[in-house]
Amino acid sequence: MKILLIPMSAIAETAGPVSRCRRITEALAEAGAGVATCMAEDVNFKAVNRVRNYFLDIPMPFGLPAFIAKRTFPIAQKLGITSRKTVSSFDDVLRITGNLDYNYLKNSVQSIRHAIRDFNPDIVYSEFNISAFIAAIVEDKKICATVSYPTQYGYAHNSRYATGLNRLLKDFGLDSVDSALQLFDWADIKICPSIRELEPINGNVIFCGALKNVLPKECTRNKILVYMGNGTVPASKMLKVVSKAFADSGYEVFIASKYLDQKDIDNIHIAPRWDFDSLLNESVCFINHGGQNSICDGLQHGVPQIVVPGKVFERKYNAQSLVDNNAGVCLNYEDFNADTLRKTAERIINSAEMRTNALALGQKLSLAGGVDLVVKTLLDYTN
């Protein structure tokens, strides 16, 4: 059996699709399946050892020319312009990242078709990559797709952004759609890396929980981990607020950001990345942007969370899901200041109920099957 895995690409930091793709690829290879990836070598790229990676184009924000986008986006990020942009649906995400631009769709579909023809997979696995759906249908291949509750067409969509997509579908003689999110209905297998308590999706969906099994260890917890990803809180503001909130707090604070210089300022430690599993195991609080991977990581380690989702629909849903399960707090961007952040952190750190609820949800995520269930599902499908 052969599987080609294709994650969504962007010039911004969107580690979720790529990290999930890598975990599944590694597990399939260990199980003896033939695997290859078609991953764009963007800021999120990291090759998988001994696995061939086919070329995939990198989309530019809003379909802008590369020489403009590569200069303007980092500036917009540093100035906090991206954090002020309202993102109401996954259609908005696809448009902003350039994944719905006609020229990008045309080029990326062609690149994926080349990979399919050369590798000849039994299944094409799409990690939120829209071009992968089209290429698989045109090449008559089975499709497996990662899905989530807030990226469903029925949850939120924006039909205004389907013009370029429908133009390409027409080129291939395929029916038009009202939204790119309807392409997820083309999948033969749908896998949700979560649990029903957090993402109650209806229909034939396989809930595999978190893709890694984490067993929290008993140890002294004296750390606070901060990760805001991209587009929620400007890095400079995050550093200023977090430093003021937790200076001389008695906690070691670790900030992960690709937009800040690596350094230590007393009890505040900054680096592009940290070993999240190690730090979360020793953390009393996890402050993050509400990305699915971050939410799951925090819960698996039994850490209550403060989520600052900004104006991004998916992150707002994830934050509310935590609140509904009394395992965290949602903090509005307008309230992201040192005084409020410190008081909120004190409240959840001192809440035994939140710690208990976070740990219970984390155990369910760890015991739902994980990457082993994904591998079994894929291998069983063609046998």
pLDDT tens-digit readout, 213-251:
787 677 789 999 999 987 788 899 999 999 999 998 999
Domains of the chain: 2-209+368-381 (3.40.50.2000), 223-367 (3.40.50.2000)
Answer yes or no: is pLDDT of 89 > 90: yes
Q: How many CB atoms lie within 10 A of CB 84?
A: 13
What are 330's strand-pairing partners?
A: 307
Burial degree of 149 (CB within 10 A; 0-12, 13-18, 19+) = buried
Of 29-43, 94-108, 219-233, 238-252, the least confident: 219-233
Q: Which CA distances in Å does 300 have to 212, 253, 327, 328?
A: 9, 20, 12, 13
Tell me the pLDDT tens digit for each residue of 117-150.
999 999 999 999 999 999 999 999 999 999 999 9
Q: Which residues contact 273 (CB under 8 A, 6 or more apart)?
A: 256, 258
Q: Where are the alpha helices (DSSP H) in the chain?
A: 15-30, 66-79, 90-97, 102-119, 130-138, 163-171, 235-246, 276-280, 292-300, 313-324, 338-349, 352-367, 370-381
Q: Which amino acid is at 349?
A: I
pTM of the model as a whole: 0.90
Q: Which two tokens stand for residue 364?
A: 């369910």
Answer yes or no: is pLDDT of 75 > 70: no
Overall average pLDDT of the 248-255 stretch: 95
Q: Which residues of 350-369 are buried (b: 16+ CB within 10 A; e: fewer)?
A: ebeebbebbbebbbbbbebb
Which band of pLDDT confidence, cut at 50, 70 and 90, is reported for residue 110?
A: very high
Supply the pLDDT for residue 83: 56
